[in-house]
Structure 1
């Protein structure tokens, strides 16, 4: 096993979709043989935009679905460590320590945070947690000393903050963290089926990895296409057309795609045929994923076991890293000095073990004079 580590993950807000696949999952599958792989179920990050009790109650179910999707997409369980973020309180302590290594102004310059606030309808009232999202993300990455982070385009600026925090920490307290490398996917993001924005669960414009063949056909038939094309004999626009974006990304028959584009531009093929061919291509792509998912679903408790064992392993790792961090910063030494002095005082009879400490009269005078 390599000593290089990869970390990435998702918020447990529902099943994974084709946008997740092109943005990160394809890279995770490809890189799992090169790196020791850690996948975070980021439920604390979820709280920045979804924090009602009803949202939180869905975390365990959504976590299972996410892990199933990841395994179905090709992640091998014996090569992966999945863990639940909220079950590792040490990550929160790292987050607190890292908050002092980055400025508010730096965080406010991250454009994706504004997009997240807008999508969550919190544009004019951004929570502190959302502003600090990249700092907690840095704690996620550095808590296992990850060397590589495969993410979509919208997270590039976040990972740069992680790199800056790691450099700053190393400069102040000594070499402790690797500087993680950003690994970009070939297709950084995927337009939604509505053609109006990127694929997003909250916008309902996605095709899920777990969708049935019939669900895929229905969603493709309703996809946005060239609005100026009122009939099949009108030449259409291919560039930026969501139907052809999906063809380019998922159709395993390039010759078919090239022919459809030529006929579309010439006005000799209708949208129905183009969409039928896309639905067929997407189902060819998703069929192996569906089969693997069904196989894992037949093993009751498997996913829960994977998450629990991964979380426990990760916590042990994070505890070791946090101990290194506290030692490097000198935080452990401060309390140890106080404790040793208190123990010496007890041995001299100033206090009895288990009894509250009381100042002697002379000490009390000196204390009052110092105020």
Structure 2
């Protein structure tokens, strides 16, 4: 079956291993057989960075370089910029009039993000309503499949609620419901095992990380605090090193042997970390080298993004026309 796929990332920093294993590899695999668009979500990035817009604008091309470095082919996948698509903001306004504040407050993803960012009583309105904006992003491309982490499933559910309400107003199915596409690893923990991955917290490994940064990150990875001696039996659950081995090491049999040995006792954390580090160095080396060349050609990156955005303007305006027609607002067309 051929799907229309929309996915994307907030332009607030370099992409990291969580992005890579969570959806980037999947996007690369899908682009040969599916119609796929990737949205660089700079507007969404401003929802909690409006006070520091450079954090968003300064990372747009970094995200572009990350995409291309992992294998996204702009000849197969259309890459576009959220702020370059006026239809998305207008659709957000229409959708905002059919979604209640209480429904937004019940969204588990929003609740978790608000708690994680410690906004207190100063939640930006744009952040609070970003499920509506995300629904506009998805529906504007008539995407019926969206690669997401399991934490984003409530966002898909709310998008589909909006789709059904708009279709009821229109009296026909002008918008398309979507379904989540989960990767094998739905969420990768931070290296310290304590919080969500964040470059500002220093608990992640970016796709551009050099050899020393990878080594340092693996060395401080959380393991089993009770595994004090090599001879001690160890725990696998909650052990970040083994979580990363499961996600990245190509030899599943070897990883299983390591787990059994660790549980039994006689396998030290240092040896396991060495195996993981070697794996991550091999994984990131070609990505880092390709990315270094890409980021030095900003003109090329801008041209790809400009072309993709112009193509997406035409696509999203068609959906906007249908939604405006449903509300009886195409008076001047």
Classify the TM-score, shorter chain: over 0.9
Residue range with higher mean Cα deviation, 102-111 or 184-193: 102-111
Query: Is residue 99 of structure 1 aligned with residue 99 of structure 2?
Result: no
2:42 matched to which residue of 1? Answer: 43
Q: Structure 1 length as normaliser, TM-score? A: 0.84
2:2–2:33 CA contact under 8 A, matched in 1: no
Distance (whole Å) between structure 2 residues aligned to residue 102 and residue 75 of structure 1: 35
3-state SS in 2 of match to 1:101: coil
1:23–1:153 CA contact under 8 A, matched in 2: no
Aligned length: 332
Larger Rg: 1
**Alpha-carbon offset, residue 299 of structure 1:** 4.2
Q: Deviations over 1:52-72 (max 9, x none)?
A: 1xx312433311111111111
Q: Deviations over 1:248-282 (max 9, x none)?
A: 11111223222322222232121111101110011
Query: Is residue 109 of structure 1 aligned with residue 106 of structure 2?
Result: yes
Distance (whole Å) between structure 2 residues aligned to residue 42 and residue 327 of structure 1: 27
Q: Structure 2 length as normaliser, TM-score? A: 0.93
Matching of residues 137-286 of structure 1 within 5 Å: 137-173=134-170, 174-286=172-284
Query: Is residue 21 of structure 1 aligned with residue 48 of structure 2?
Result: no
Q: 2:122 aligns with which of 104, 122, 125?
A: 125
Q: 1:310 aligns with which of 308, 314, 322?
A: 308
Q: Deviations over 1:96-153 (max 9, x none)?
A: 0011222222211111112211222214332222221110001111112212111112
Distance (whole Å) between structure 2 residues aligned to residue 135 and residue 277 of structure 1: 44
Q: 2:73 aligns with which of 56, 72, 76?
A: 76
**Alpha-carbon offset, residue 220 of structure 1:** 0.2
RMSD: 1.9
CA change 1:237–1:3 in 2 (3 A) is: closer
Distance (whole Å) between structure 1 residues aligned to residue 200 and residue 301 of structure 2: 25
2:80–2:305 CA contact under 8 A, matched in 1: yes
**Alpha-carbon offset, residue 190 of structure 1:** 0.7
Higher relative contact order (CA 8 A, sep 6+): 2
2:86 matched to which residue of 1? Answer: 89
List alignment gaps of at least 5 residues for structure 1.
337-371
3-state SS in 1 of match to 2:39: strand
**Alpha-carbon offset, residue 298 of structure 1:** 5.6
